[in-house]
Structure 1
């Protein structure tokens, strides 16, 4: 299967989606899944059949490090 940004998340049938323990009751969260080959897919938990974005592990690591450092805090404040 070819993996690409914007592919239907529903096409990723053999992966396990993980939601943050910080997600709220209204479902405002993203879910992530490790893909064969080490890439990571991200989807909107409110639209599990919708599109998924596909990133490398290094791209996800850079994002997580930035989130931990507060780089994106102004977007949620």
Structure 2
């Protein structure tokens, strides 16, 4: 199903609903959009972080602890 078909079908259904139900759909659409925007932002931040060398110095550090230092293993 194409994007246009989905939108047309959804609008047709919304137009048949009472105002309070249409408002519920509007609130849900806002929620979905906000979640999508947050997801996009997180992905962009992850890409920026992966490309940066901010933590590169840790690769040169000697390990302070090893598995032998563990008192309990879960």
Q: Greater relative contact order: 1 or 2 (C-alpha under 8 angstroms, separation 6 or more)? A: 1
Higher share of residues assigned helix? 2
Higher share of residues assigned strand? 1
Fold match by TM threshold 0.5: no
TM-score normalised over the length of structure 1: 0.27
